[in-house]
Amino acid sequence: MLGQMMHRPLSVIEILKFASENHKSAEIVSVRTEGDIHRYSYAQAFERVAQMAHALGRMGIASGDRVATLAWNGYRHFELYYAISGIGAVCHTINPRLSAEQMIYIIQHADDQVLFVDTTFVPIIAALRSQLPQGLRCVVMTDRAHMPDSDLDLLCYEDLIADCPKTYDWPEVDENTACGLCYTSGTTGNPKGALYSHRSTVLHAMSLCISLGRFLQEGTRVLPVVPLFHVNAWGLPYGAPLAGASLIFPGGALDGPSVYKLMDEERVNSAWGVPTVWLGLQAEIAAKGRNPNGFSSVVVGGSAAPRSMIEKFEKSGVSVCHAWGMTEMSPVGTHGILPADMIATKSLSERLDLQQYQGRRVFGVDLKVVDENGESLPHDGTSVGELYVRGNAIISGYFDNEAATAEAFDSEGWFGTGDIAVIRPDGFLSIQDRAKDLIKSGGEWISSIDLENVVMSHPMVANCAVIAVAHPKWDERPLLVIVPAGQEHVSKAEIDDLLLQHVAKWQLPDAIEFVDELPLTATGKVSKLTLRQKFANYMLPDMK
Ligand code: ADP
């Protein structure tokens, strides 16, 4: 027997409509490429979204068309998220840190009709012009006074919307209609597209508000350092208006001092981003001797948060949520907010033990760990295998890419993450490594994350990465690459002593190399691929 309930399609534009009516005191604050700060309410945003929807219609954009963005976190980018999906078209966010080759590939693969671009990125478009599809129109996300000098045929965002009505008769779209498209950064091979639907996006936003609710409430001032140009800024452009939180968009200045200043001036409560950004912020906090005003929580994800980073935040009164997810998962899969009873009863050290894991699954995401034969392993805290996921906000295939799709799922339709993990009886997920980053030594595995976690706690280490180096006898051995915190280099003996408190002797890195900085991926994570290439012919001491 079926239930007798109305079927109202889940729709992204309804989120902003809801916020415009119900969260009157929340605001969107943006550091603009024009150099100043812009602020307005969700109601004002909703009006400009309507204007942009009209402008898109005038440009001939119809349901199902792909409209691309190449932009920082700011209010115009936010408007495009809603205007494009609101008319039934697809908002394709492009990561400006992709290589030219990858960018051209995804613009062609997505068949983008229009490209919205921040002034900062106009030079990228100019450099690529000969390879861009003919007929691709470019709109610069600024006003007439700030339009760049360029011989490209560029349209102006503010001109486009200037005379458009501030209301729009939003069409009712099927909830399975695509609303957003984001390509993985594709460390190997071509990028692969995750095509989000209205349904998956709304369900993900609700799940975010429930699971991370303590960090995302009515009145919270949230800073997404995580970019709108990659994986929907972890769902914040949807979750924040739903919850009634304010969004503080940082624009392009993401270094420690700039982030600190913005957080301090705008009294940001909750800041979300990858560990590399927080290393910069923590250095600035140390220099200033205090936290930014109002700072009370941080969400760290995208790569493993070192225990020492979590400890520094927690000791200064900032609650940490260590989260895990993927582009293919919208992206949030697990969150590390501790259960209230643990916060009340556990010591700091016991809490840190748990927080270095990647947390518990959010509602709507199922997790399983399987062995090499695809058999499910128990959630016993020790059985290690590949992590598979399924859920309402997880891709069912890659956009227009049968080959990649065929490889990504098991026979029961679960998506293979490529992460090696353990699930504990209490539900906490522990990511050991990406399968391709594990170090295979004499038939045993060494987790690069485990070693990095310990090394990061040394005061003479600003950042580090452990990578595999080919070895004639052991297959691979670990090489530790350190960015020193000061002038002096920590000795190998000292690092070994520290590591031996946590890992077995055979897991110790064979050598240490010091570098000024670590290479980053397009999403701001340490690029182990680039490091492995750099040290491809490295001679470990016992090979010389
Ligand atoms: P890309 O790195 O190409 O931008 P994603 O942003 O989708 O792609 O990255 C997803 C991957 O990032 C996960 O499969 C996992 O390996 C890694 N990751 C994400 N969060 C964490 C975390 N908290 N700890 C360890 N690894 C993480």
Q: Whose CA is nearest to atom 10 of ligand 1?
A: 326
Cβ of 446 below 6 Å from ligand 1: no
Would you state the pLDDT for residue 185?
Answer: 73
Ligand 1 atom nearest to CA at 186: 3
Q: Whose CA is nearest to atom 5 of ligand 1?
A: 326
Cβ of 30 below 6 Å from ligand 1: no
Say how far apart CA 396 and CA 406 lie, in whole Å: 11
Q: What is the pTM of this model?
A: 0.94
474 belongs to the catalytic site: no
pLDDT tens by residue, the chain, 544 residues = 999 999 999 999 999 999 999 999 999 999 999 999 999 999 999 999 999 999 999 999 999 999 999 999 999 999 999 999 999 999 999 999 998 999 999 999 999 999 999 999 999 999 999 999 999 999 999 999 999 999 999 999 999 999 999 999 999 999 999 999 999 976 667 899 999 999 999 999 999 999 999 999 999 999 999 999 999 999 999 999 999 999 999 999 999 999 999 999 999 999 999 999 999 999 999 999 999 999 999 999 999 999 999 999 999 999 999 999 999 999 999 999 999 999 999 999 999 999 999 999 999 999 999 999 999 999 999 999 999 999 999 999 999 999 999 999 999 999 999 999 999 999 999 999 999 999 999 988 899 999 999 999 999 999 999 999 999 999 999 999 999 999 999 999 999 999 999 999 999 999 999 999 999 988 889 999 999 999 999 999 887 7
Cβ of 329 below 6 Å from ligand 1: no
Q: Whose CA is nearest to atom 12 of ligand 1?
A: 302
Contact 196, 179 (CB under 8 A): yes
Closest to 418 measured CA to CA, from 336, 335, 324, 330: 324
Mutate which of 324, 358, 437, 451 to test ligand 1's pocket (most atoms within 8 Å of Cβ)?
A: 324
184 belongs to the catalytic site: yes
Distance between Cα 303 and ligand 1 center (Å): 5
Closest to 73 measured CA to CA, from 45, 127, 35, 31: 31
Distance between Cα 484 and ligand 1 center (Å): 25
Would you state the pLDDT for residue 186?
Answer: 62
Peptide bond into 331 cis (omega under 30): yes
Cβ of 302 below 6 Å from ligand 1: yes
Cβ of 448 below 6 Å from ligand 1: no
Q: Whose CA is nearest to atom 21 of ligand 1?
A: 303
Q: Measured between alpha carbons, how far is residue 180 from residues 2, 110, 128, 225, 327 in Å?
A: 31, 11, 24, 20, 12
Give the HSE-up count for residue 527: Cα atoms under 13 Å, Cβ half-sphere. 20
Q: Give, for 386, the enclosing helix (H) or strand (E).
A: strand 385-391
Own/partner pairs, 277-283, CB within 8 angstroms, 24+ separation: 277/225, 277/524, 278/305, 278/309, 278/313, 279/309, 279/462, 279/463, 280/254, 280/255, 280/256, 281/256, 282/256, 282/309, 282/312, 282/313, 283/256, 283/462
17 belongs to the catalytic site: no
Cβ of 420 below 6 Å from ligand 1: no
Say how far apart CA 24 and CA 244 lie, in whole Å: 8
Q: Whose CA is nearest to atom 27 of ligand 1?
A: 303
> Residue 321 corresponds to which amino acid?
C
Distance between Cα 302 and ligand 1 center (Å): 4
Say how far apart CA 217 and CA 297 lie, in whole Å: 12
Would you state the pLDDT for residue 542?
Answer: 84
**3-state SS class at 90:** strand
Cβ of 327 below 6 Å from ligand 1: yes
Distance of CA 335 to the CA centre of its chain: 13
Say how far apart CA 461 and CA 355 lie, in whole Å: 21
Task: Provide the strand spans (E) within 472-524.
Answer: 475-484, 511-514
167 belongs to the catalytic site: no
